[in-house]
């Protein structure tokens, strides 16, 4: 057979981790890598957090899965904590970010299909360079041709506007518009925070026309930016929000959060999931909330983010031929480069044992575990400095 046992949809590199130690990954040959990728913003507590490990171990010994045909004390408790800490009144738990966005799309459409709604409102306006997942609906919500290739026809119901351009969003509106689906801080698109004016403008349009404002906080949510969710930076509340990645700390977990008004169409039979909200996932999510959903932890993330950003801004001045600027909030930072970022990300990984993540717009994502401290930051800059000094863009 020529096809490998693992379907070859990922260009997997030669790094093969078998163990984690706080902010490091250890390869099967014993090589240690400083992990400032965090599983693409997932492992927010690092790789060996005792609270998270203990919660999963204890719950696994008691009960892992029962299906959603039964009451869920664990799910009810975690949902209540999210409701108490956010804009939301209700939560649906999923297994992934893409599923959370799917639920958010359905919630926004179902709002208008309600008996006193406007059933012709079926279109969501999304934005250039967005990434919402890899299901058919979520690739259809993106304007990126590279994700569409091989999967046409796309699903209808999406229109694309320019990110952070309110006039472009207005131009896409019609009597079929159900709402807007937007990342307040684009991740895959290059760590690009939306402007205050743009987010406030979308909220005003939704209020004026009775539309749904849907935030995709799969990557930027759960303490990553120094707030529990990034919408808090803007002082603007969405109607629906998708959350995942960090919410499980490494265990597969996502959530769709909504206000009571926004969820009016999501009654019995409107949605479902066999595994979503299982007791094991709820234990992981609860442990994450125990660790991060408090003012002290969030203030530490903010302070660490400010220090890391200041050091990065000072650092890039040493390599003006490589780096343009620093973007992002908290510990969701991006180095926009003057050359393609992917070869540099590979260079750091293969030659300096530093794990980062490439993104769009020639950006290198810096996503350390939120528990990283001075020792890890010092190691990061040692490796980054060595990598920049030894990098030859012309040879990439």
Band of residue 340 on the pLDDT scale cut at 50, 70, 90: very high
Look at residue 394 in the predicted model and tell me its pLDDT.
85
Residue 223 · residue 292 · CB < 8 Å: yes
pLDDT digits (tens, 9 = 90+) for 71-128: 999 999 999 999 999 999 999 999 999 999 999 999 999 999 998 889 999 999 999 9
Sign of the dihedral through C-alpha 52, 57, 58, 63: positive
Torsion (CA) 212, 216, 217, 218 in degrees, nearest 10: 140
Residue 248 · residue 97 · CB < 8 Å: no
Name, in order, each residue with C-beta under 8 angstroms of 208's C-beta and a sequence gap of 6 or more.
none
Band of residue 395 on the pLDDT scale cut at 50, 70, 90: confident
Look at residue 116 in the predicted model and tell me its pLDDT.
85
Structure tokens at 162: 């320019």
Distance between CA atoms of residues 279 and 341, nearest Å: 40
CA distances from 150 to 2, 43, 101, 135, 138 (A): 21, 32, 22, 13, 15
Of 156, 136, 163, 158, which Cα lies nearest the Cα of 147?
136
Q: Is the model's pLDDT at 1 over the cut of 80?
A: no
Residue 354 · residue 387 · CB < 8 Å: yes
Average pLDDT over residues 276-295: 98
Look at residue 129 in the predicted model and tell me its pLDDT.
97
Distance between CA atoms of residues 125 and 168, nearest Å: 10
Structure tokens at 203: 């909220």
Torsion (CA) 270, 274, 275, 277 in degrees, nearest 10: 40
Question: In the block, which residue shows the tokens 């620093």?
Answer: 326
Residue 1's CB is within 10 A of a number of other CB atoms, namely 4
Distance between CA atoms of residues 273 and 74, nearest Å: 16
Residues forming a β-bridge with 251: 249
pLDDT digits (tens, 9 = 90+) for 136-192: 999 999 999 999 999 999 999 999 999 999 999 999 999 999 999 999 999 999 999
The terminus-to-terminus CA distance of the chain in angstroms comes to 33
Band of residue 46 on the pLDDT scale cut at 50, 70, 90: very high
Residue 197 · residue 235 · CB < 8 Å: no
Average pLDDT over residues 212-225: 98
Residues forming a β-bridge with 24: 21, 34
Sign of the dihedral through C-alpha 69, 75, 80, 82: negative
Per the prediction, the chain carries an average pLDDT of: 97
Band of residue 396 on the pLDDT scale cut at 50, 70, 90: confident
DSSP-derived secondary structure for 315-341: HHTT-TTTEEEEEEETTEEEEEESS-H
CA distances from 330 to 35, 65, 196, 301 (A): 17, 35, 17, 6
Name, in order, each residue with C-beta under 8 angstroms of 301's C-beta and a sequence gap of 6 or more.
223, 224, 225, 226, 330, 331, 370
Question: What global pTM score does this model have?
Answer: 0.97
Helices (H), 225-361: 231-234, 279-292, 295-316, 341-352
């Amino acid at each position: 057979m020529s096809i490998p046992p693992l379907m070859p949809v990922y260009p997997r590199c030669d790094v093969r981790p078998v163990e984690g130690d706080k902010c490091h990954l250890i390869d099967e040959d014993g090589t240690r890598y400083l992990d400032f990728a965090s599983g693409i913003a997932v492992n927010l507590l690092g790789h060996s957090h005792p609270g998270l490990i203990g919660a999963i171990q204890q719950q696994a010994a008691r009960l892992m899965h029962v299906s959603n045909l039964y009451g869920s004390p664990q799910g009810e408790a975690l949902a209540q904590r999210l409701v108490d800490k956010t804009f939301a009144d209700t939560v649906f738990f999923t297994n992934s970010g893409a599923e959370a966005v799917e639920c958010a799309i359905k919630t926004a459409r179902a709002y208008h299909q309600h008996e006193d709604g406007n059933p012709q409102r079926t279109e969501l306006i999304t934005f250039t360079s967005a990434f919402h997942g890899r299901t058919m609906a979520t690739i259809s919500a993106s304007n990126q041709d590279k994700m569409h290739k091989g999967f046409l026809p796309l699903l209808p119901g999406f229109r694309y506007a320019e990110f952070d351009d309110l006039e472009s969003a207005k131009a896409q509106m019609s009597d079929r518009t159900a709402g807007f689906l937007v990342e307040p801080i684009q991740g895959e698109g290059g760590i690009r925070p939306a402007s205050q004016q743009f987010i406030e403008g979308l909220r005003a349009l939704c209020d004026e026309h009775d539309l749904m404002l849907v935030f995709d906080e799969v990557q930027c949510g759960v303490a990553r930016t120094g707030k529990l969710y990034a919408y808090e930076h803007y002082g603007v509340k969405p109607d629906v929000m998708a959350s995942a990645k960090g919410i499980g700390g490494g265990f597969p977990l996502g959530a769709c959060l909504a206000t009571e008004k926004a969820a009016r169409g999501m009654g019995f039979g409107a949605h479902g999931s066999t595994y979503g909200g299982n007791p094991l996932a709820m234990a992981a999510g609860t442990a994450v909330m125990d660790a991060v959903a408090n003012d002290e932890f969030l203030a530490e993330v903010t302070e660490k983010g400010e220090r890391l950003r200041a050091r990065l801004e000072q650092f890039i001045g040493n390599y003006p031929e490589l780096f343009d600027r620093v973007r992002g909030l908290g510990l969701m930072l991006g180095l926009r480069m003057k050359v393609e970022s992917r070869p540099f990300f590979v260079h750091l990984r293969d030659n300096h044992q530093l794990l980062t993540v490439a993104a769009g717009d020639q950006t290198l994502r810096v996503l350390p575990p939120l528990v990283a401290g001075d020792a890890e930051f010092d190691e990061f800059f040692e490796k980054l400095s060595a990598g920049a000094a030894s990098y030859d863009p012309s040879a990439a």
